[in-house]
A and B are shown apart, each in its own frame.
Chain A
Amino acid sequence: MTGYILKRLLSAIPVLLGITVIVFAIMALIPGDPATAILGSYATPENVEKLNRDLGLDKPLVQQYFIWLGNMLGGDFGTSFSLNRPVLDEVVERFGATLVLAGTAFVLCSIFGIVAGVISAANQYGWADKSITFAVLLGISIPSFFLGMMMILIFAVKLRWFPVSGMWPIYGDRDLCALIQHLTLPAIALAVVATGVIARLSRSAMLEVLRQDFIRTARAKGVHERGVIWRHALKAAMVSIIPVLGIQAGFVLSGAVYIEIVFQWPGVGRMLVDAILKRDILLVQGGVVLVAACYVLFNIAVDVAQSLLDPRIKT
């Protein structure tokens, strides 16, 4: 198993390098002169030239890439000019908040999506199946930012069950209870779309598995229908559900950007949008590379989970 994990980690290196190449290439497309963008249109030509030299922008692109890559490997992602703070510090702090939000949403959508899919498949064409199918359709069609806004309107403004926005109370203790209160609405709003997708897929995976011969064997043994559905069928269906969980994790991480804006959550997505609007390129670069790298590592964890579940995968 350790060997397998190591092998997967090694195979991630080209992917990670590819990510840096793509990010660098996109940033190299930026029209105009970044130094002018940073200094503003009142900058003197001498200042622009000096900044270009300082940033290494007068060198050839390939050389620029390797300097940038080397700096990143040494932990130097540059300094954000809009925040006047090292990019790495800012991203790590913001990513922590995003992980709390996206992680909670991911757990929610995995659990509810799978459970809904299993119930739907086990009661195919029954009322439970029909209502879940309809709810799923609604869930995958609603824009998460709109859903978030409606939830604020109903549960925060009207019913006053939850705070309107933010991660922590402005006054008062920053304890777990306060966090949960602030987390509930955004986590649910973020989880809804992925829950729908996972439920849909779990349902069809379960239907596929339930027709297999080993399900008939379990029934012939006299295993209770609950055990047939939730142990035998679900375990086999997980083989096709787990890869989808990996993909959906990427969608949850993406959706977090909207939810962070709607709920004023101090996460990395909001930071990125602000950085784009302020043309803070180094911050965008650093944020994108770090988050994408984390996502690649998460997908390795998904592969490892898959190999733990399925003994037929050669490790």
Chain B
Amino acid sequence: MSGFLKLLARNRLALAGGVVMALVVLLALVTPLLPLADPDVTNTGARFQRPFSEGALLGTDHLGRDLLSRLLWGTRLSLAVGFAAAIAAASIGAAVGIISGFYGGRTDNLIMRGVDMLMAFPYILLALAIVAALGPGLLNALIAVAAVNMPFFARNIRGITVGLAHREFIDAARLSGLSNTRIILSEILPNVIPVIVIAMSTTIGWMILETAGLSFLGLGSQPPQADLGSMLGEARSALITNPHTSVVPGLIILIIVMSINLLGDGVRDALDPRLKSGALSRPMAATRVDRKGPVPESAGQGLLEVQELQTQFHVKDRVYRAVGGVSLHVKPGECLGLIGESGSGKSVTALSVMGLVASPPGVIAGGAVRYEGEDLIGASYGRLRDMRGRNVAYIFQDPLATLHPLYRVGDQLIEAIRAHRPIGQKDGRARALELLKSVRIPNPEKRLSDYPHELSGGMRQRIGIAIALANEPDVIIADEPTTALDVTVQAQILALLDDLRRERGLAIVFITHDFGVVAQLCDRVAVMYAGRIVEEGPTKAILDTPLHPYTARLMACVPELGTGKRRLEAIPGLPPVVDRLPQGCAFAERCTRARPDCRATEIDLHRAGMRAVRCIHPEAPLQEAAE
């Protein structure tokens, strides 16, 4: 509870709303004690006095009644009726919802049908019908507002109760012989109260508005008694001649409802952090760049060069170093494999190239990415956008999530082309057809007008590849493109990528956690662990003699086809959390070869010939392996 209040207090707007609300409530409570004129005594001699006139701070109304007094008494009445309506709606609605959700079956069906019927009305029609039947009056208006809002609570609470009714602790309570009433009161109710509070805090302002509205229409409080709504209603006829009689009560309603809404939003955020607006932040068009330190000079290696790249995630006051100084390069026609466990930073490295790391929280904090020598990290958004898809294209994992669900695949393909070339719809279609053929999609004409959910996983991945090929890029970054697919389809996709590379001289960066895939496709491999490259070299050499113990363990995870004997070895332990990297080798905790000096100092990536390793006690000497 104190945690909740603290959270609420931290939200400055909610706090302001709470303070204003408290003041208004306090004022309403002490109204009978204040030395005010009688709100209902008429004095036609002093009608329509202006505010700040003698004896009437806010002036008088059309019958000469003191406005300040009427306002305070009216506020008191409006608040009382609004709160009463909210409490009535919440408790009846909650009771209906709990009964419906707890008993289920026919009871549930019958009740929810009724609730749906009530919700089929525009709310005011129902309220008007109720007031028409019961007759105008404040109590009847209260009943109408409560009845109109009850279904909202019933439906919400039912949803929560249905979820709770099948949980283990309810079953346990049943088995221990508790009666249904006891279970509802002691197990269900405490769990739905936060939901009731949230629903109330977000609707109470609305209910005050509704009761004021019915009074405004003359269907609520009846003269001489007045709430804020009926004050406005009475003042309407003098709106043009004496606007102050309308402005004052209207403003008070606005202030009350606004402060309740602010407070309500705060309560909702504090009780249900998932709904908190700040928790949902949208990624910007390009990753934020905040480079400290010098930009590395181009080494002139290959078409795409990643140099000392550092990408971090800034979450509150923590810094997760997802990529901690990675250098890579790839030449035309070459396929580089980037391998590591989940969370090793491979995808973040790949996405950093075109500024596609979600930001916030992503920040590129150092290093460079060079395409034909041009530094892309410092490039403008316009330049990056121009290169995305045209020079460097991506193929993503899980194409059901990465293709737009509501556009036809043909249109998504054509859009990829048109993002970089002005091309007519007809030419675009022809080109899209050509692309589908090139990724060997059978019956391409028909497929163009399919939606992603109508295709199989393998077909969707081919669409993803076709989109990547749309502008004949020089580099393709494939981020685990085959992980979601079954083995035969995986083999087809790999063969397709291999052919494309040979035919078009594509440079491919292939990200995977599977050495089997690397062996089929890649010329060179870089192994990543905890945001760093731990080993690099030609695929064949690494497969023959892995140097880093991590590489060796990773290779042992792959079953070999045909042997069927070797035990699959999982690597014990988990990769370190990248906001608190240990001193020295990050793998030491899980390494069977680790010695004290492994944890002593930073370990550099040692190079010899084509090979490199970040280990001082490798599986085999680096120099030997390099020869």
Contact = CB atoms under 8 A, between A and B. Distances in A.
Contacts of A253: 122, 124
Contact of B404 (A214, A250, A269): A214
B122 A292 contact: yes
A262 B236 contact: yes
* Size class of the contact patch on chain B: 35 or more
A114 interface: no
A295 B283 contact: no
Nearest to B209: A143
Given A140-B261, A146-B253, A276-B136, A220 B219 contact: no
Contacts of A241: none
Contacts of B464: 217
A187 B190 CA distance: 45
Specify the main secondary structure of chain A where it touches its partner.
helix
Contacts of B118: 22
A277 interface: yes
Interface stretch (B45-53, B293-301, B385-393, B542-550): B385-393
Contact of B129 (A23, A138, A224, A255): A23
Interface in A8-23: 15, 18-19, 21-23
Contact of A232 (B281, B404, B416): B404
Contact of B122 (A18, A222, A236, A250): A250
Given A273-B128, A312-B451, A219 B419 contact: no
A299 B240 CA distance: 39
A239 B393 CA distance: 29
B232 A145 contact: yes
Contacts of B124: 253-255, 257, 269
Contacts of B467: 217, 221
A192 interface: no
A285 B125 CA distance: 10
A125 B620 CA distance: 54
A232 B126 CA distance: 39
B358 interface: yes
Interface string B398-412: 100111111100000
Contacts of A18: 113-114, 116-117, 120
A299 B216 CA distance: 29
A204 B277 contact: yes
Interface in B120-161: 120-126, 128-136
B406 A207 contact: no
Given A157-B240, A219-B356, A235-B406, A214 B250 contact: no
Interface in B297-355: 351, 354
5 contacts: A15-B116, A18-B120, A143-B212, A143-B232, A210-B283
Given A146-B250, A239-B406, A262-B236, 4 more contacts: A15-B116, A206-B282, A219-B356, A222-B389
**Shortest beta-carbon contacts, A-B, top 5:** A146-B250, A254-B124, A18-B117, A222-B389, A141-B258
